[in-house]
Amino acid sequence: MFLRVEDLREEPYCLLLAYPRPEPGVVEERIRMLEGLGVVGIELVGRKELPFGLRVLGKGYVGLVLAARMADGKRVALKIRRLDAGRESLSHEARMLAKANSVGVGPRLLASTDDILIMEFIDGPHLPDWLLGRPGKATVGSVLRQLLEKCRKLDEVGLDHGELSRAHSHILIQPRPSGRPEPRIVDFESASDVRRPANVTSICQFLFISGLAKLTSEILGPVDKAALIKALRAYKHRMDGASFSAILDACGLSTYK
């Protein structure tokens, strides 16, 4: 279902702009913001369902993520700050995402205000759902290696995502018409460039030691967890190319491209 921006004044759709308790003044202000940014409407699609059957791409502690359309017809992801959010602004997340974008990671940040982020729309399943489809050993190996390399890039620029040890909803797999699918890391609201980055260690724990370890071992074969933990400890202290290569070896990913 497509809603024009002006339709968002009406109940129950105003809930999308001022969750969880719409205030008329806030709704009007955010409609003006959207119009100023070139947003013409939103699509009621996604995995999450709000009251009144309103479907959205995501719902977090800070904001709602919606599918939207720009004046030029481009489909984008729109994040709108919740009125009960613990943060007064989305400016921190915008800055973190821009830093991730500088090394080719994360959805592209297209525009932002204190209350709204407009980002590249990434169409693809979450990593666990994708793995359950058993896409094939070579494809899985390639995608997981790409994912570790992206985490390495974040480590190199001193940006810690903060949620990759429980990354069920933070990695989307984007199909590519010519080539392997691409893993995309999303949701940088908990990211920090102050704390020590631990992206590679966190994602390896999630993939091979805890969260998805059983599933990945069924597809790629077992991983020597003791050897991986040793490699992760060495990487934590050195964070250089050699210690990262040792992690790829320990995960069984060094032969994939």
Summarize pLDDT for 156-181 with one digit per residue, the tens.
999 999 999 999 999 999 999 888 99
Q: What's the mean pLDDT in 10-29?
A: 97
At what angle are helices 241-251 and 137-156 packed, to 10 degrees?
150
Task: Specify whether the backbone of 239 is left (phi greater than 0), alpha (psi in -120 to 50) or beta.
Answer: left
pLDDT at residue 248 tops 90: yes
What pLDDT does residue 257 have?
87
Length of the chain: 257
Per-residue confidence (pLDDT) for residue 178, from 0 to 100: 80
- Average pLDDT estimate for 19-37: 97
pLDDT for 243? 98
Contact 118, 39 (CB under 8 A): yes
Tokens of 74: 């481009």
Burial category of 132 from C-beta neighbours within 10 Å (exposed 0-12, middle 13-18, buried 19 and up): exposed
| pLDDT score at 224 | 97
Q: Taking residues 227-237, what's their average pLDDT? A: 98
Does the domain at 2-120 match CATH 3.30.200.20? Answer given as yes
Distance CA 254, CA 229 (A): 17
pLDDT in tens, 128-140: 999 999 999 999 9
Q: Which of 168, 200, 171, 175 is nearest to 184 (CA)?
A: 171
